[in-house]
Chain A
Amino acid sequence: MDDLMAARSQMALSLGFHIIFACIGMVMPFFMATSHFFYLKTGDLNHKNLTKAWSKGVAIFFVTGAVSGTMLSFELGLLWPKFMEHAGPIFGMPFSLEGTAFFIEAIAIGFFLYGWDRFNPWFHWVTGLIVGISGLASGILVVAANGWMNSPSGFDYVDGKYINIDPIAAMFNDAWFTQALHMTIAAFVATGFAVAGIHALMLLKGRNVAFHVKAFKIAIIFGGIAAIIQPVSGDISAKDIAKRQPAKLAAMESHFETTKRAPLLIGGIPDEKNKTVDYAIEIPGALSFLAHGDFDATVIGLDQIPEENHPPVLVTHLAFQIMVIAGMIMVGLGLLYFFAAWRRKSWLNKKWFLTLFVAATPLGFIAVEAGWTVTEVGRQPWILYGFMKTSEALTPMPGITYSFLIFTLVYLSLSAIVIFLLYRQIKSVPELYSDNHSKKSAEPTQ
């Protein structure tokens, strides 16, 4: 493995790891605050227990997200010093603000976790909500910084120098809104379905039913609504990418030749050498419509882009397909839940129904990882789209492979420990939050 590949792999690994924790860290507090709200309103102990149980999850994910985020802020320099030397001052604005948001989150989480019975209950509730809001703000700001890498703005590039820097214009680059919207909703989908899936599994086991029913309901309502609206933001993103990064769209869709009335491909395996796609279902004109809102519009293919600037087509295409398929399944499950809650309440505690949601536990995160693969791999070979190639940004220090190996080990062990901790956390719910009176009632109270 050469240093460039090692550095890219390390970055991908770090981001891939961080994204999971960051998503949960920014969405779970809202679930927690919702449950907390019901407890404060009704005094229902199940909601109090649920709030406490979730807050432990929030603490674990917050810290893992925080350390992996810290690692990223170092790794940007350790792996891509040449990029950071130029980019730092330009896209630093969202990072500076993110520092503030993150700091507030850290303070609020201190208040929330250690503040039970110490403060006015509603003040305590608000600190929990602030954890969520500032986490969300951090996420949006960091995505805005990534948006700048896809859509550089706020500077003039003259004779190899970046001058007339305007950090505010860089922050509000053309991509920031679509990317942040898509990512924020994705975080809700992924976390909602993951949390719902875990509680559905507990419901199948039939213990602490009242507790898990409440948990499942809160999580799936958040996740389901987010899943149903996500295709809209996906459509906005597609149109945006068609305009700004035609190479990325072409790679996503394995669109090798520029054509009018371009078909949308479903599935398929691109053959990069012969510039063909095997085994795909084609919907005529649909790509033109999705990209430009017109079935007859011309969609730029990879033939219009110099060969050396082609992103890896196979990876981008497959990742895109995976994201869309996972997303669609979750739209279906979301609709199914709301239909059941509205018309078929008896389904809610049926084995097949719960099993479906258990199976969907990882789907949201698969979609998130795949989506980021599309964004990042689809931008290659550029680190700063149109201005700086990833290879030009690499650190001169040799031996990055070793660093990659060390971090792989660290991430693997951290993941193992977190899974282990969650397993123990969930397993001990009966002892910690047992509620004898509601154990028997298997009927979900919708």
Chain B
Amino acid sequence: MLYVVIIFLCLSILLYLLLGGADFGAGILELITKSELRQNTRMLTYKTIGPVWEANHMWLIIIIVILFVGFPPIYSALSIYLHIPLLFMLLGIIGRGTAFVFRHYDAVKDDMQKVYNLIFTYSSFITPFFLGVIAGAMVSGDINPEATNFFDLYIAPWTSFFAISVGIFTVSICGFLAAVYLSGEETDQHIRRVFIRKARLLNIATVVSGGLVFFAAYIDGLSLMIELITQPVTLIILVLASLSLWLLWHFLNKQKTNQQKAVASRLVAGFQITMILLALGYHYFPDFLIMHNGVNLSLFNSAAVGKPITTLAWALILGSIFILPSLFYLIYSFQKEPES
């Protein structure tokens, strides 16, 4: 049953990055969109993400619950040593969620909208950035429970070059996903071209910032790159992701004139991100939190024993029976016909 829980955990992380990521990305896109097109981006975001954004956010809750029920030492260690970036991420989540709803449900449209927009866009940037920073800190080996001063205990782990570059990488991924996703929703050909251009730019940014992660790993003395390209499985996965770049650009090109091609672009974009996560997941599995002293917290040595895992697994299975079909139907219903 532990494997059931682990599968749900991995799946939730993947879905949060893909769906929640596209969600955050919409805010990032708005931030980098020229002012004359901003209103357009905003409406498109509202139309496409409005019905599902709360559901997208739920994957994070599932991750948190799985961690504290199933792997309490990991949850506890994260909460202690990454308290500060978690706090920033939390502030981002609050700002984003509330601003999104406030700006659409405020009965009066006036200058307050500017405030909501400001909060929405910047928190859309902050949240994935710190999410990435936290992920980077978790595998960097910089968390050191034996340290004795405040800086080494609570600041150093997440301010390394590596952790910051993972943060930047995550932001690029979110922006990229959102651009690909939204370009498929846009019916106006001219504006669609703008989105497609952004999707390409952000795709390049993703590749470059991915390179930055490797560079940072090298500078910080982590053997990430060597290990990823010397393990046959991760190497194959990364090669597949790279090869699909060509496909993506091809479909994006087609999509300029034919909106129907959007599905293909989306699938390829999703595939690329899934591959990156898969390669990293495969590389680090089962370690979840790599500590300075070499005593890593893994999904096996940190798992709760016995009944908690079994009941958690059943709760997840049961939950997914209810959730997945209705979530699918929700996404399907709002996809099948354009809003009247």
Are both chains from one complex?
Answer: yes
B309 surroundings in chain A (CB, below 8 A): 89
List B residues 70-119 near A (Cβ within 8 Å).
Answer: 70, 72-73, 75-80, 83, 86-87, 90-91, 93-94, 97-98, 100-102, 105-108
List A residues 49-98 near B (Cβ within 8 Å).
Answer: 56, 59-60, 62-64, 66-68, 70-71, 73-74, 76-78, 81-82, 84-86, 88-90, 92-93, 95-97
List A residues 109-126 near B (Cβ within 8 Å).
Answer: 109-111, 113-115, 117-119
12 more A-B residue pairs beyond the given contacts A56-B107, A76-B68, with a C-beta to C-beta distance below 8 A: A56-B105, A70-B90, A74-B90, A81-B79, A84-B72, A85-B75, A90-B308, A96-B65, A99-B61, A100-B315, A114-B51, A117-B340
B335 at the interface (CB under 8 A from A): no
Please tell me if the beta carbons of A88 and B311 are within 8 angstroms of each other in the complex. no
List B residues 33-63 near A (Cβ within 8 Å).
Answer: 50-52, 54-55, 57-58, 60-62
A168 at the interface (CB under 8 A from B): yes
List A residues 401-434 near B (Cβ within 8 Å).
Answer: 403, 406, 410, 414, 417, 421, 424-425, 427-428, 432
A102 to B65, CA, bound (A): 12
Given contacts A86-B72, A424-B107, is CB(A106)–CB(B83) below 8 Å? no
The 4 closest A-B pairs by CB, nearest first: A92-B69, A77-B79, A100-B319, A89-B308
The contact string, 1 if C-beta is below 8 Å from chain A, for chain B 313-340, is 0011011001100110010011000001
Number of interface residues of A (CB under 8 A): 66
16 A-B residue contacts at CB 8 Å?
A: A62-B54, A66-B97, A73-B65, A78-B87, A89-B309, A93-B308, A99-B61, A99-B62, A99-B65, A103-B319, A103-B323, A110-B50, A111-B333, A118-B333, A166-B307, A397-B83
Which of B69, B102, B107 has a CB less than 8 Å from the CB of A88? B69
User: Chain B contact residues: over half helix, strand or loop, or mixed?
Assistant: helix
Please tell me if the beta carbons of B69 and A111 are within 8 angstroms of each other in the complex. no
A408 to B312, CA, bound (A): 34
A413 to B323, CA, bound (A): 34
A398 at the interface (CB under 8 A from B): yes
A40 surroundings in chain B (CB, below 8 A): none
Please tell me if the beta carbons of B316 and A73 are within 8 angstroms of each other in the complex. no
A228 surroundings in chain B (CB, below 8 A): none
B150 at the interface (CB under 8 A from A): yes
B130 surroundings in chain A (CB, below 8 A): none
A398 to B148, CA, bound (A): 12
Query: In whole Å, how far is A437's beta carbon from the nearest beta carbon of chain B?
Result: 23
Number of interface residues of B (CB under 8 A): 62
A133 surroundings in chain B (CB, below 8 A): none
User: Chain A contact residues: over half helix, strand or loop, or mixed?
Assistant: helix
Please tell me if the beta carbons of A167 and B79 are within 8 angstroms of each other in the complex. no
Which of B54, B79, B318 has a CB less than 8 Å from the CB of A84? B79
Please tell me if the beta carbons of B304 and A89 are within 8 angstroms of each other in the complex. yes
A74 surroundings in chain B (CB, below 8 A): 64, 79, 86, 90
Given contacts A66-B54, A89-B69, A99-B62, is CB(A81)–CB(B76) below 8 Å? yes
A45 at the interface (CB under 8 A from B): no
Please tell me if the beta carbons of A165 and B308 are within 8 angstroms of each other in the complex. yes
A314 surroundings in chain B (CB, below 8 A): none
A425 surroundings in chain B (CB, below 8 A): 105-107
A81 to B154, CA, bound (A): 15
